[in-house]
């Protein structure tokens, strides 16, 4: 085993792990998925075997070439003959699915507004495939979770904190943000400010109440949404949409006193 370290002008130290092992020189190739950044174990090592030890003059045999991904630094995630990759075309960043057999595009899902940078435009990350779901993070911070067959957004997903495994998913509410308090989830959707109170449980989506914020903001830019997360303090729920700040009483009985953990201003 040889450990090599290199320095690049961007001052980022990268570690290359070269593993030398003895493999059979004949027999079928052991195919291995590449479901996330740097491979199955995030170590940059593929477990495939029976690969060419030298290439034909010029380059290996080209199977296909795709030329319509757009601006991007995203490396592909490959699972079950499907390629999941991101790219920025003229109007937006996109999560793309290609057929690994011929490179043809199977579906595309909008990931967010365009991202520009002096070092190159477009997304930077690699999609992650886990528990039959595709996760993708855009360059502007948008997080997307979709079904692998269609690219359709999944909705709300509950995952195991330690393993990342999916516990349950629900399409009962559109995309938004969440704050958790006293065993409950306080959710608000980004499109129209729907506020939902649901139980924080591994059993499944257990909705208790919902309403829509009113009045709606008159100053929200055309491309902006209700992005401010809920805040819970002193038995009150605070919600904001641009110029509007709502305060709702959510305590039982009398207003709670300040806890020992409260800090002096």
Q: Where are the domains of the chain?
A: 34-40+68-154, 173-265
- Say whether pLDDT at 27 is over 60: no
CA distance 96 to 205: 29
Average pLDDT in the chain: 84
CA distance 176 to 186: 10
Would you say the C-alpha torsion 240, 176, 76, 48 has a positive or negative sign? positive
Residue 110's nearest CA partner among 120, 100, 95 is 95
- Say whether pLDDT at 209 is over 90: yes
Whether pTM exceeds 0.75 = no
The residue ranking higher by pLDDT, 156 or 38, is 38
Least confident of 32-36, 180-184, 190-194, 259-263: 259-263
Instruction: Determine the pLDDT at residue 31.
Output: 72
CA distance 86 to 70: 8
Residue 202's nearest CA partner among 178, 229, 170 is 170
Bond from prior residue into 166 cis (ω within 30 degrees of 0): no
Instruction: Determine the pLDDT at residue 84.
Output: 97
CA distance 156 to 184: 15
Confidence of residue 7 (pLDDT cuts 50, 70, 90): very low
Residue 236's nearest CA partner among 219, 220, 216, 256 is 256
Bond from prior residue into 184 cis (ω within 30 degrees of 0): no
- Say whether pLDDT at 72 is over 90: no
Please answer whether residues 122 and 88 qualify as being in contact, where contact means their C-beta atoms are separated by less than 8 angstroms.
yes
- Say whether pLDDT at 163 is over 80: yes
Confidence of residue 30 (pLDDT cuts 50, 70, 90): low
- Say whether pLDDT at 21 is over 50: no
- Say whether pLDDT at 186 is over 60: yes
List C-alpha distances in Å: 110 to 10, 36, 88. 30, 20, 10
Pick the CATH number of 34-40+68-154 from 2.60.120.10, 3.40.50.200, 2.40.10.480, 3.40.1010.20: 2.40.10.480
Least confident of 57-71, 122-136, 189-203, 242-256: 242-256
- Say whether pLDDT at 164 is over 80: no
Give the residue-averaged pLDDT of 142-164.
Answer: 88
Cβ contacts of residue 151 below 8 Å, gap of 6+?
A: 95, 97, 107, 108, 109, 134
- Say whether pLDDT at 32 is over 50: yes
- Say whether pLDDT at 26 is over 60: no
DSSP label at residue 34: B
Would you say the C-alpha torsion 40, 155, 112, 194 has a positive or negative sign? negative
């Amino acid at each position: 085993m040889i450990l090599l370290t290199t320095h690049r002008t961007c001052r980022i130290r990268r570690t290359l792990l070269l593993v030398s092992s003895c493999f059979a020189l004949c027999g079928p190739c052991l195919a291995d998925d590449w479901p996330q950044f740097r491979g199955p174990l995030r170590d940059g090592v593929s477990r495939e075997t029976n690969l060419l030890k030298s290439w034909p003059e010029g380059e290996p045999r080209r199977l296909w070439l795709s030329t319509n991904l757009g601006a991007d630094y995203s490396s592909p995630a490959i699972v079950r003959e499907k390629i999941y990759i991101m790219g920025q075309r003229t109007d937006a960043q996109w999560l793309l699915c290609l057929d690994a057999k011929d490179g043809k595009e199977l579906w595309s899902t909008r990931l967010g507004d365009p991202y520009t940078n002096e070092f190159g435009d477009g997304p930077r990350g690699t999609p992650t495939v886990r528990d039959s779901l595709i996760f993708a993070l855009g360059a502007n911070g948008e997080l997307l979770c979709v079904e692998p067959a269609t690219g359709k957004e999944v909705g709300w997903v509950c995952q195991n904190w330690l393993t990342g495994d999916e516990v349950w998913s629900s399409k009962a509410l559109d995309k938004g943000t969440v704050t958790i308090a006293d065993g409950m989830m306080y959710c608000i959707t980004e499109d129209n400010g729907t506020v939902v109170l649901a139980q924080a449980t591994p059993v499944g989506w257990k909705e208790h109440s919902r309403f829509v914020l009113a009045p709606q903001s008159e100053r929200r830019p055309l491309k902006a949404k209700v992005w401010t997360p809920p805040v819970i303090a002193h038995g009150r729920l605070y919600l904001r949409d641009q110029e509007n700040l709502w305060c709702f009483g959510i305590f039982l009985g009398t207003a709670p006193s300040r806890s020992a953990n409260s800090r002096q201003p």
